[in-house]
Structure 1
Amino acid sequence: MYLRLFSYIKPYKTFFTLSFITMIIFALINGFSLGMISPFVIAIFNRDGNALSILGESNIRILNNIDRWMFESSPLVALKRLSLVIILIFFLKGFFQYFHNYFNCRVEQGVIKDIRNHFYRHIHTLSLGFFTKSSTGNLSSIVTNDIEIVRESVSKGFIEIVRESTLAIIYIIIVIWASWQLSVLSILIVPLSIFLIARVGKRLRKRGTRIQEKMGEMMSTFTETVSGIRIVKAFAMEGFELRKFFRNTVNYLKTVIRFETLRLSIAPLTEFLGAIAASVILLYGGHLILVSQTLSPDRFFVFLAASLSLMQPIKRIGEANSKIQRGLGAAKRIFEILDTEEKVKEYPDSITLPDFTKHIRFRNISFSYDSEIPVLNDINLEVKAGQIVAIAGPSGAGKSTIINLIPRFYDPTSGAIEIDGVDIRKFSLKSLREAIGLVTQETILFNDTIFNNVAYGRSKISRKQVIKVSKAANAHYFIEKLPNGYNTIIGERGASLSGGERQRIAIARALLKDPPILVLDEATSALDAESQLQVQEAIHKLMEGRTTIVIAHRLSTIKDADLIYVVEKGTIVDYGKHGELLQKDGIYRKLYKHVLKEAESVTVSDRY
């Protein structure tokens, strides 16, 4: 999985290479700064002029020249020159550390941008079935929180492990150079620390995944409550929603504490092991200096500084590993979405939908959402070009499913839908959906201006065109009364507008698209008489000159339809014109009487 994450670094390989090079140079300078302890000790305590460089006696001319420049003078002058070298070393150390962090930042931010864009692009390719089963809050949590944790995993996990491992190798080299006998003792701690880090890492990954799952549940509750705040307040369920959210935050807290309890144990354990090793080294090193006299004091100081410094990279590697494990847990959730297959696929040899001229046909269509419970059974229907065809039936009969199959929001389990005799699966999704105008019961508007909601993604649309379709949709007049007219921000999902106003803007958007095929799910929401009349007039203008398939709820639509298909329990049980169907003592007649009673009750209530 980490190799898969690493593949996102490829577009930024230049910055990554520069980050790696500056990191190596920084690590080398960091190690060299420790090595300066030896000449520093010699410069202060050695009085006979037999000073050595950090690498000891060397045949390399430049090192010998540095030796002579630093030490072939009085101890005070040597100390001054040594101080200048130390200042230069730490300047270079800070310089390369800065550019390492800068290049690292370019890599990590670029990687996260690409993962986020890949994720967002992929969910646009998934069918509606995916979204009906997925929580909006969970998806929001993945695209924000999980991806941010992956960023930490890349920047403070992988890159930190490489950096600290490089430092550890340099310190080990210095340790071995200073005293191979003492290095044997100090290196004994490394395998034990690695074993501890690996053992704990597996458990951290599992707990890290649970943290992201609990975060998703918490975000899901939050987004659902905010989006449905009217219902929450209308039912006075603030307390219920608070208790539900607080349960989620408590569960998240418990999961984080379990993760942190394990993670925080790594640093003190590795440090404790290092302290044990350091104590043994001090005892043995003192013996080598004082008793056997096989180790010089300056080498011992270098060894001691390097071995103590070695503890920090080992400790940080453990901490970085915990970040990696949590990042892998988050990456697992991201890749589960990215690996979700597109159930509605576009065929490689797809063609552009030509002008629609003849008919739309459903041939033996059956459909199931979960491959078990059938929703549609052997549907056969035909819509001729220019016709208004209504689909009627009781709630849950499968009417919405039928119209969702036309723009290929789902593909049928069996059978085929044809436009002018060609299976719609042979058309590109873009050309198919561009030919279909969809107006649903649930009016979807965006937190943007009215102009941008009507134009929706069409940057070259003029204001004149938007005003024209808005007038046709009976929307222009109320828009003009708003404080900023067409530039008014309408809030999330058009919250600042009434139901009728939202519907008219949606109709204006469909009119601007000017599709040859219109799929209409008539709104059943209760509107006042004036708004209902204006919306109905707008719908009739929208239907003019188009082939219309409509889920009919209104008497006017039912009467004006050229053909009505009656659906019950996923099957077409009857079809014909309004008058013909009324003559039969079937389900349509019962439905019509029910609609008639509702219309009469609305009329009576309007009088009062």
Structure 2
Amino acid sequence: MSKGQRPFGGPRGHMGPAMGRPVEKAKDFKGTVKRLVEYMRPQRYKFLAVFILAILSTVFNIVGPKILGKATTKIGEGILARYLRIIQIQIAIKRNMPRQVIENLKRQPVPSIDFEYIGKILIILISLYLISAILSFIMSYIMSTVAQETVFKMRSEVKDKLDRLPLKYFDSRTHGEILSRVTNDMDNIATTLQQSLTQLITSVVTIIGILGMMISISPVMTLIALFTLPSSGMLTAMIAKKSQKYFAEQQKIIGQLNGHVEEMFTGHKIVKAFGREEDSIKTFKEINERLYNVGWKAQFMSGFIMPALNFVNNVGYVLVCVVGGIFVAKRKIEIGDVQAFIQYMRQFTQPIIQTANIANIIQSTVASAERVFEVLDEVEEVKDKEDAVKIKNPKGEVKFEHVKFGYKDDELLMEDINIHVKPGQMVAIVGPTGAGKTTLVNLLMRFYDVKGGRITIDGVDIRDMRREDLRRMFGMVLQDTWLFNGTIRDNIAYGKEGATEEEIIKAAKAAHADHFIRTLPHGYDTVINEEASNISQGQKQLLTIARAFLADPPILILDEATSNVDTRTEALIQKAMANLMKGRTSFVIAHRLSTIKDADLILVMNRGTIIEQGTHKELLAKGGFYAELYNSQFSN
């Protein structure tokens, strides 16, 4: 986890203490929303269906309390009629009315509750809620399809885009940043499309529908209920404003804590070797203490919102109940309407809070979409020519003709580089760190294009070739090994598509890797774990060399290929390399000058310029920069 990255980020909630938390905002909100909507245009009919289903599902839910109120009224009327009959008889007895009148009153049927009517109401209610649930299910199913199809398309486009971006894009950004756009931002968009949009639709429809139902019951009671809303809003805004600065500080300290923990666990051997455990623990405790204090304040202030809102809402319920009771007594409304109104009141606050939270989530999602669109808008590599040349039988003659290059347009690193490498020659590139050795190789493989001049292979300008065809002519063994999670067999076979078992073993033997592979518990079927930590650094290097042997390319690039192996293995690999390089052009980047004595041509680089070139003996005889480098390594 990179410094400053938000840890422990579970799924986004639509309710709860997220209120008051700082929200990432898009730089161009309107433009990004417009582009996102345009992006989802192929799904517009499904969106329309979701919108209609959301409205119908919500409407069926909203009318429920009003219909239930009818049943409550009917029950109330039945109970009231029964009590009135009893009171009539009691009054007749107290007033000493004629016995015949009292008997007639007793003989009359006692009013009862109309259970048949209530049963019909209940059936209607169950049907309504069942239809609402079915519509909601269909809506969720369609929206899930829409969300996943949209994000699938977007993710595929981003992957294709990354494949077309030049190397400088990846050199100028951290892996974590690129990964975050492909994973976290995509998940954020998918979650919002699948959950937040439908919730936003249902919340808005619920607010409008409930408000309409409340007004239909009693405009006066609606005004009383709405009177509590500004109070709730002001209270929420006041608390959220106070809590936001604590959440911002909390995020900042979490970043510091992540950075400290990452550094300490990455370099825990160094920490232990220098006995700095106490300092590490002290720093952790200090940051953790600050996080505790700020986090406590942030959570307390955020958690205070709901009790405060409940208090204001309860005051509103009391007022509504009192006024509703008076209206029932005056027969302005029915008792069931009061019950329905209270239900609507309780349902009214939730969609308002949901809408506020979803507005924050949508802001964050638009920011995520903007970051994804930034990737899609990046300048791509110059496209290969349609009439690209393909060298069928490459000989390996390489020329740099007046090459100019700089990572920035206004700053040239290389000027007027001229090299002529004949087929089958071994070319060594030496020089101090930052001299431009790796840059030369990057230009050769066209990871970067030259700013001036040209590079040719067998007389063909590499810009006239397809990058894929060009790179197939090269085999690379780098100082930084790269192995993927899979078997040793698969990692070696990566060098050649459709490689046979015999070819894999032959390549392993040539790289002197066969012996150590067979000593492993599962031999060639041994699975290399994700970080390749179950084999040594030197063994990793041997496998990458075996991969290069298997590829059998016409041109080789070796970047300090033997730096991670012991002296004896290095001597064996040097012999194997000599066999591999026979008849092939090879470029060897070396720091240990003893390994390149037999090179046909040595290029001495410094500050992006080739300051010397020649054989080992010729350069030593000159007594120049190369001689100084060589003698400094063997002065003792």
Give the TM interval when normalised to the shorter protein.
0.7 to 0.9
Paired with 2:307 and 2:190, the residues of 1 have a C-alpha distance of 26
Q: What does residue 431 of structure 2 align with?
A: 393
Tell me: CA distance 1:324–1:282, structure 2 relative to 1, closer, same or farther (3 Å). same
Tell me: CA distance 1:379–1:24, structure 2 relative to 1, closer, same or farther (3 Å). same
Asked if 2 retains the 8 angstrom alpha-carbon contact of 1:137 and 1:219, the reply is no
Paired with 2:464 and 2:227, the residues of 1 have a C-alpha distance of 67
1:382-407, CA deviations, whole angstroms, 9 ceiling, x for partnerless residues?
22332222212233322122112222
Q: Is 2:613 aligned against 1:575? A: yes
Deviation at 1:459, TM superposition (A): 6.1
- Structure 1: which 5+ runs fail to align? 49-72, 602-608
Equivalenced residue count is 572
Tell me: CA distance 1:159–1:93, structure 2 relative to 1, closer, same or farther (3 Å). closer
Paired with 1:245 and 1:474, the residues of 2 have a C-alpha distance of 47
Aligned equivalent of 1:416, options 454, 463, 485: 454
Q: Is 2:485 aligned against 1:447? A: yes
Q: What does residue 199 of structure 2 align with?
A: 160
Aligned equivalent of 1:514, options 542, 546, 552: 552
Asked if 1 retains the 8 angstrom alpha-carbon contact of 2:562 and 2:573, the reply is no
1:51-71, CA deviations, whole angstroms, 9 ceiling, x for partnerless residues?
xxxxxxxxxxxxxxxxxxxxx
Tell me: CA distance 1:567–1:146, structure 2 relative to 1, closer, same or farther (3 Å). same
Greater mean deviation of Cα atoms: 557-566 or 369-378: 369-378
1:76-115 counterparts in 2 under 5 A? 76-109=115-148
Q: What does residue 70 of structure 2 align with?
A: 39
Deviation at 1:98, TM superposition (A): 4.0
Q: What does residue 25 of structure 1 align with?
A: 56
Paired with 1:415 and 1:244, the residues of 2 have a C-alpha distance of 54
1:34-59, CA deviations, whole angstroms, 9 ceiling, x for partnerless residues?
222232124323469xxxxxxxxxxx
Paired with 2:570 and 2:60, the residues of 1 have a C-alpha distance of 77
Question: Alignment partner of 1:494: what SS?
Answer: coil
Q: Is 2:579 aligned against 1:541? A: yes
Deviation at 1:119, TM superposition (A): 4.8
Tell me: CA distance 1:16–1:96, structure 2 relative to 1, closer, same or farther (3 Å). same
Max Rg structure: 2
Q: What does residue 67 of structure 1 align with?
A: none
Deviation at 1:446, TM superposition (A): 2.1
Deviation at 1:506, TM superposition (A): 0.6
Aligned equivalent of 1:589, options 627, 632, 636: 627
Instruction: Supply the AA of the counterpart residue of 2:579.
Output: K
Q: What does residue 482 of structure 1 align with?
A: 520
Deviation at 1:411, TM superposition (A): 3.3
Asked if 1 retains the 8 angstrom alpha-carbon contact of 2:62 and 2:210, the reply is yes
Deviation at 1:483, TM superposition (A): 0.9
1:234-265, CA deviations, whole angstroms, 9 ceiling, x for partnerless residues?
66666677777778878888887787678667
Paired with 1:330 and 1:202, the residues of 2 have a C-alpha distance of 24
Tell me: CA distance 1:386–1:461, structure 2 relative to 1, closer, same or farther (3 Å). same
Aligned equivalent of 2:383, options 324, 334, 346: 346
Tell me: CA distance 1:361–1:192, structure 2 relative to 1, closer, same or farther (3 Å). farther
Q: TM-score, normalised by structure 2?
A: 0.75
Paired with 1:416 and 1:202, the residues of 2 have a C-alpha distance of 61
Deviation at 1:360, TM superposition (A): 2.5
Paired with 2:164 and 2:285, the residues of 1 have a C-alpha distance of 35
Q: What does residue 312 of structure 1 align with?
A: 350
Asked if 1 retains the 8 angstrom alpha-carbon contact of 2:431 and 2:591, the reply is no
Q: Is 2:514 aligned against 1:473? A: no
Greater mean deviation of Cα atoms: 85-94 or 574-583: 85-94
Paired with 2:185 and 2:576, the residues of 1 have a C-alpha distance of 45
Greater mean deviation of Cα atoms: 189-198 or 489-498: 189-198
Instruction: Supply the AA of the counterpart residue of 2:217.
Output: A
Asked if 1 retains the 8 angstrom alpha-carbon contact of 2:399 and 2:418, the reply is yes
Instruction: Supply the AA of the counterpart residue of 2:76.
Output: F
Question: Alignment partner of 2:427: what SS?
Answer: strand
Paired with 1:569 and 1:593, the residues of 2 have a C-alpha distance of 21
Deviation at 1:487, TM superposition (A): 1.2
- Structure 2: which 5+ runs fail to align? 1-31, 80-111
Instruction: Supply the AA of the counterpart residue of 1:367.
Output: F
1:2-49, CA deviations, whole angstroms, 9 ceiling, x for partnerless residues?
45555665676676556545433321221122222232124323469x
Deviation at 1:115, TM superposition (A): 5.2
Tell me: CA distance 1:407–1:464, structure 2 relative to 1, closer, same or farther (3 Å). same
Instruction: Supply the AA of the counterpart residue of 1:177.
Output: S
Paired with 1:337 and 1:252, the residues of 2 have a C-alpha distance of 34
Q: What does residue 333 of structure 2 align with?
A: 295
Q: Is 2:494 aligned against 1:456? A: yes
Question: Alignment partner of 1:520: what SS?
Answer: strand
Greater mean deviation of Cα atoms: 195-204 or 275-284: 195-204
Paired with 2:231 and 2:144, the residues of 1 have a C-alpha distance of 33
Aligned equivalent of 1:322, options 360, 368, 371: 360
1:215-230 counterparts in 2 under 5 A? none
Paired with 1:241 and 1:125, the residues of 2 have a C-alpha distance of 43
Deviation at 1:450, TM superposition (A): 0.8
Asked if 2 retains the 8 angstrom alpha-carbon contact of 1:399 and 1:551, the reply is yes
Paired with 1:204 and 1:119, the residues of 2 have a C-alpha distance of 37
Identity of aligned residues (%): 32
Paired with 1:422 and 1:250, the residues of 2 have a C-alpha distance of 65
Tell me: CA distance 1:350–1:258, structure 2 relative to 1, closer, same or farther (3 Å). farther
Tell me: CA distance 1:404–1:161, structure 2 relative to 1, closer, same or farther (3 Å). same
Deviation at 1:559, TM superposition (A): 2.9
Question: Alignment partner of 2:416: what SS?
Answer: strand
Tell me: CA distance 1:76–1:553, structure 2 relative to 1, closer, same or farther (3 Å). closer
Higher relative CO (CA 8 A, sep ≥ 6), structure 1 or 2?
Answer: 2
Paired with 2:287 and 2:389, the residues of 1 have a C-alpha distance of 48
1:399-420, CA deviations, whole angstroms, 9 ceiling, x for partnerless residues?
1221122223333444433334
Instruction: Supply the AA of the counterpart residue of 2:58.
Output: A
Asked if 2 retains the 8 angstrom alpha-carbon contact of 1:37 and 1:302, the reply is yes
Paired with 2:155 and 2:320, the residues of 1 have a C-alpha distance of 50
Paired with 1:215 and 1:5, the residues of 2 have a C-alpha distance of 32
Deviation at 1:122, TM superposition (A): 4.3
Instruction: Supply the AA of the counterpart residue of 2:215.
Output: I
Asked if 2 retains the 8 angstrom alpha-carbon contact of 1:189 and 1:274, the reply is yes
Asked if 2 retains the 8 angstrom alpha-carbon contact of 1:19 and 1:104, the reply is yes
Deviation at 1:179, TM superposition (A): 3.1
Paired with 2:578 and 2:418, the residues of 1 have a C-alpha distance of 27
Paired with 2:160 and 2:578, the residues of 1 have a C-alpha distance of 36
Greater mean deviation of Cα atoms: 317-326 or 498-507: 317-326
Deviation at 1:534, TM superposition (A): 2.4
1:134-173 counterparts in 2 under 5 A? 134-140=173-179, 143-173=182-212
Instruction: Supply the AA of the counterpart residue of 2:503.
Output: Q
Q: What does residue 559 of structure 1 align with?
A: 597
Question: Alignment partner of 1:561: what SS?
Answer: coil
